[in-house]
Amino acid sequence: VKNVLEETQIDPHLLEIELTESMIIDSLEATIAKMDELRALGIRMSIDDFGTGYSSLSYLKRLPFSTLKIDRSFVRDILVDQDDAVMVETMISMASIFNMNVIAEGVETIEQFEFLERHRCRYFQGYLCSKPVQVNVFEELLMHDVQSCSSHS
């Protein structure tokens, strides 16, 4: 990673590496050391699919994550399953305490979005915005959104 940064001159603050819980568990101490090296370069890290594996609150305390990604399996039923709603609210609160951003995965409805927004989750992924598209289609969608936003300011 260090060599690629040097070769490409990419600003490391623009990069974020996603790790899943299962990647971390295998050799926790070695993972912490590597993550600390990457963070020292300015790279941010996120924990993906939080809550689906062997979640340990000590990960949030010991590992230098900047973002917690809530797995879609919790988001899917937040409007109909009180347990999922409480879990998501708790994850958002914990992340806030640790000064982490939160990304909710699998947001497909405006009602899910509104629930997350009410609970201070500012970022999300999911089909609510768009299904996966080719790069050229994404660029067109992005340009359209930027133009429509600037015309309303």
Q: Where are the domains of the chain?
A: 2-151
Cβ–Cβ under 8 Å, residues 88 and 104: yes
Mean pLDDT by 10 residues, the chain (153 residues): 92 90 76 90 89 68 87 94 95 92 94 95 88 87 58 35
Cβ–Cβ under 8 Å, residues 124 and 103: yes
Beta strands across the sheet bearing 123-124: 16-20, 44-50, 67-70, 101-104, 123-124
Q: What is the pLDDT of residue 96?
A: 92
Q: Are strands 123-124 and 44-50 parallel, antiparallel or unpaired?
A: unpaired
| Confidence (pTM) | 0.79
CATH placement of domain 2-151: 3.20.20.450
Q: What is the pLDDT of residue 131?
A: 84
Q: What is the pLDDT of residue 148?
A: 42
| Tokens standing for residue 102 | 């939160």
Q: What number of helices (H) and strands (E) belong to the chain?
A: 8, 5
Q: What is the pLDDT of residue 121?
A: 95
Q: Which of 136, 132, 75 is nearest to 103 (CA)?
A: 75
